[in-house]
Amino acid sequence: MIRFECDYTEGAHPRILERLVKTNEEQTPGYGMDAHCEKARGYIRQACQAEHADVHFLVGGTQANTTIIASVLRPHQGVIAANTGHIAVHETGAIEATGHKVLILPSDDGKLEAQQVRDLYEAHWNDMTHEHMVQPGLVYISHPTENGTTYSKAELEALSKVCRECKLPLMIDGARLGYGLAAQGSDLSLADIARLCDVFYIGGTKIGAMMGEAVVIINDVLKRDFRYIIKQNGGMLAKGRLLGIQFETLFEDGLYYEISQHAVDMAMLIRAAFAEKGVCFRYPSMTNQQFPILPDAVLQKINEKYSCSYWERVDAEHSAVRFCTSWATKKENVAMLIKDIQALL
């Protein structure tokens, strides 16, 4: 069985493992106060062109989302998200467990539009009973989204503008950020991301690291006491240097982008193979996740040899599924998959 079901089926990029082995005997202070974390912070600030940003390393995405959101909101505030947002669907109510409602907006492709945010904001404040309703206090988007789609620079600028006008901080879930930046046609840089939002994170778990997400806080107001909130949410790794070492490796000479590019290239090959056979896609993704709509009979055949994620039933005879690539996706496996696609469709 060759696994394309998600982007975390293997361990870590070999260079990361090597570095962990090489540094293993070093003695460092705990909790992210070591020299590796400090170095990684420097690389990330530089990559973001955000020299005053605070950078914190957390283990996973749910933890990063919960910690950021709990830190930003007051008790009566909620976070605006697309109905497909990870926090709205796939975190077992972690946000609600911190006391906050996720205020969902409908989205077909996983993206929020600037106008939707403005409308929700105005609807709240124009309602005479607004004190009886959850106040919007933060906007959450994912880039790329859970559906592999991406914001253009113009779209993100529009969203950012509305958020600033409405005094709503904007956070970006970047669990797969690298794949978004490497997407065909993307005109967004890491510096744009940092410039246009208040807080975001750079995903490591799905892009070469064993685990780890680098939270980057741009807005000074959101920086205060963040380490307390990390600790309270169980996210302060004792051997924090393990995260520092990984991000140091990813960002010291561009490995992060290299990995991202490889995965996107592999995904584009798969995409092209499906497209050539006239297969439609559930979402217009140019990133490492591809969502072909396949006849059930073909899917069954494919699944004998390859795992993919079942996404949803489209009609009586077709299903949307998800194929993911990563740093670890082997060219020969993609070639074999393509050959099988050509044969089966």
Q: Which residues ranging from 118 to 137 are in contact with its own copies (CB under 8 A)?
A: 128-129, 131-135
Q: How far is the CB of 327 from its own copies (least distance, A)?
A: 11
Pick between residue 47 and residue 302 the one whose CB is nearest to its own copies. Answer: 302
Pick between residue 125 and residue 276 the one whose CB is nearest to its own copies. Answer: 125
Q: How far is the CB of 132 from its own copies (least distance, A)?
A: 5
Strand partners, 58: 213
Q: Which of 41, 48, 56, 66 binds its own copies (CB under 8 A)?
A: 66
Q: How far is the CB of 215 from its own copies (least distance, A)?
A: 13
Burial classification of residue 264, based on how many CB atoms lie within 10 Å of its CB (0-12 exposed, 13-18 middle, 19 or more buried) = buried
Pick between residue 116 and residue 160 the one whose CB is nearest to its own copies. Answer: 116
Closest C-alpha among 89, 98, 40, 41 to residue 69: 98
Pick between residue 28 and residue 189 the one whose CB is nearest to its own copies. Answer: 28
CA atoms of 198 and 226, how far apart (whole Å): 14
CA atoms of 163 and 282, how far apart (whole Å): 29
Site membership for its own copies, residue 219 (CB under 8 A): no
Q: How many residues bind its own copies (CB under 8 A)?
A: 77
DSSP, collapsed to helix, strand or coil, labels residue 129 as: coil
Strand partners, 82: 105
How many other CB atoms sit within 10 Å of the CB of residue 23?
17
Answer left, alpha or beta for residue 240, where phi above 0 means left and psi between -120 and 50 means alpha. alpha
Site membership for its own copies, residue 10 (CB under 8 A): yes
Rounded to the nearest 5°, which phi and psi values hold at 292? -70, 150
Q: Which stretch binds its own copies (CB under 8 A): 42-50, 204-212, 214-222, 256-264?
A: 204-212
Q: Which of 47, 62, 68, 198 binds its own copies (CB under 8 A)?
A: 62
Burial classification of residue 207, based on how many CB atoms lie within 10 Å of its CB (0-12 exposed, 13-18 middle, 19 or more buried) = buried
Structure-token pair, residue 155: 């779209």
Pick between residue 101 and residue 318 the one whose CB is nearest to its own copies. Answer: 101
Pick between residue 135 and residue 219 the one whose CB is nearest to its own copies. Answer: 135
Q: Which of 46, 96, 165, 184 binds its own copies (CB under 8 A)?
A: 96
Residues in region 281-340 near its own copies by CB under 8 A: 310, 328
CA atoms of 150 and 153, how far apart (whole Å): 10
CA atoms of 145 and 125, how far apart (whole Å): 28
Q: Which of 15, 38, 42, 99 binds its own copies (CB under 8 A)?
A: 99
Q: Which of 98, 145, 290, 319 binds its own copies (CB under 8 A)?
A: 98
Structure-token pair, residue 223: 């920086």
Q: Which of 46, 90, 272, 317 binds its own copies (CB under 8 A)?
A: 90
Strand partners, 172: 141, 200
Site membership for its own copies, residue 206 (CB under 8 A): yes
Strand partners, 78: 136
Rounded to the nearest 5°, which phi and psi values hold at 59? -80, -45
Pick between residue 60 and residue 295 the one whose CB is nearest to its own copies. Answer: 60
Site membership for its own copies, residue 87 (CB under 8 A): no
Residues in region 230-249 near its own copies by CB under 8 A: 231-239, 241-242
Q: Which of 37, 44, 71, 158 binds its own copies (CB under 8 A)?
A: 71
